Amino acid sequence: LVWDEDYQKPIDGDKAYNTARTFKTDIGFEPTLTFAATYAVVPGKFQFNCGTKITVGDLGWNIVATQTRDDPTSSSVDSTSTIVAFGFDSSDFATSWDAGFTAFLGKKVTVDASYNILNKLNNNSVDYSSNNDIWEVVKDVFVQKLEFLVTVKL
């Protein structure tokens, strides 16, 4: 929420109201769909996890209200105009893919690993046509962020 000052106080102490005052309000939503699946390779000991997140884009309303005064010495507003615009920005569309595993090392110790190898393939960020070195392609695809989470229950 952004708005202009209501009045300015000059050196002589009298209030000089702004003839126009603008209020801006932005209300936005960014819907996200998330899907996940788990496969128990060894039930109770080891499971494979994969998932995807799809961000559709940013949508919302931009509201601009402008109040005007004919007399800058009066605090009363003479007219108000409001513009409401709905927008959808599809350039924010994105997908992410994760794969990983969960290992149950005992009743109180669990290790979760996440590896986002599928992101590189999904976003087509590997250009195979201009690369003559197969090992560079392998590095681009397989050298990705690998995260671990160890949980110990006390």
Closest CA to 97 of 112, 82, 115: 115
Torsion sign, CA atoms 145, 112, 38, 51: negative
Closest CA to 82 of 7, 22, 29: 22
Closest CA to 87 of 106, 105, 110, 63: 63
What's the pLDDT score for residue 22? 81
What string of pLDDT tens digits covers the 154 residues of the chain?
A: 555 555 555 566 666 667 777 888 888 888 888 999 999 999 989 999 988 888 888 888 888 888 888 777 777 778 888 898 888 877 777 777 788 899 999 889 999 998 876 655 555 455 556 656 677 767 766 777 788 999 999 8
For 121, the enclosing helix (H) or strand (E) is helix 117-122
The values of phi and psi at residue 36, to 5°, are -145, 155
The values of phi and psi at residue 30, to 5°, are -130, 85
CA–CA gap between residue 46 and residue 104 (Å, rounded): 6
What's the pLDDT score for residue 14? 65
pTM confidence score: 0.49
Burial 27-48 (b: 16+ CB within 10 A, else e): eeeeeeeeeeeeeeeeeeeebe
> Which position has the token pair 């102490």?
13
